[in-house]
């Protein structure tokens, strides 16, 4: 059997995990092979690398940034197309690699309390979230996303917080 080398593009902040997987699938198809999925061990490494928490393959430089959204997020969304909270004081929350647990059992979760800045005026009804590559609202790439229980953020409530284990990303 011959040895095959698969040439992958250089990983850069604009290349999403989905883009990378599509390239791998395409290269395997050229060889007459089909990708069925990642092994459990590789899934854990990918999850760690998404949050900049893996020494040999960091797909994103830490920190990443958690955005609160007022509409559902989809696979084609970017940081520019997200409809984010718009209350006064809102900013994406930085997530350091140390804020996240090591990937285990096919998932990765926050181990630290993630607290957003206070809402000083206005309000927003948050129904979803996205982890992005940049801090600026309306910029960067969406890495992962999800929904949450609808909550209104206003000046009369505590700042938006994500309790430890409240943010869970699964790859399986």
The closest alpha carbon to 121, from 156, 91, 82, belongs to 156
Residue 15 confidence (pLDDT) above 70: no
Asked if 125 and 150 count as a contact pair (C-beta separation under 8 A), the reply is yes
Residue 91 confidence (pLDDT) above 50: yes
Helix, coil or strand: residue 83? coil
pLDDT at 31: 62
Asked if 102 and 119 count as a contact pair (C-beta separation under 8 A), the reply is no
Q: What is the largest CA-CA distance in the chain?
A: 68
Separation of alpha carbons 56 and 160, rounded Å: 34
Q: Quick: pLDDT tens for 46-60.
A: 787 777 776 665 566
pTM of the prediction? 0.73
């Amino acid at each position: 059997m011959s040895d095959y080398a698969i040439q992958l593009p250089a990983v850069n902040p604009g290349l999403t995990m989905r883009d990378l997987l599509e390239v791998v699938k395409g290269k395997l198809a050229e060889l007459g092979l089909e990708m069925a999925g990642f092994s459990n061990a590789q899934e854990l490494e990918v999850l760690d690398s998404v949050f900049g928490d893996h020494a040999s393959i960091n797909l994103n430089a830490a920190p990443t940034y958690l955005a609160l959204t007022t509409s559902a997020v989809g696979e084609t969304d970017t940081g520019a197309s997200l409809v984010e909270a718009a209350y006064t004081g809102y900013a994406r929350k930085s997530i350091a690699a140390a804020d996240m647990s090591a990937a285990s059992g096919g998932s990765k979760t926050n181990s630290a309390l993630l607290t957003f800045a206070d809402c000083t005026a206005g309000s927003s009804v948050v129904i979803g979230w996205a982890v992005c590559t940049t801090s600026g609202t309306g910029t960067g790439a969406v890495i992962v996303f999800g929904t949450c229980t609808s909550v209104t953020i206003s000046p009369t409530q505590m700042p938006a917080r994500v309790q430890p284990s409240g943010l869970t990303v699964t790859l399986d």
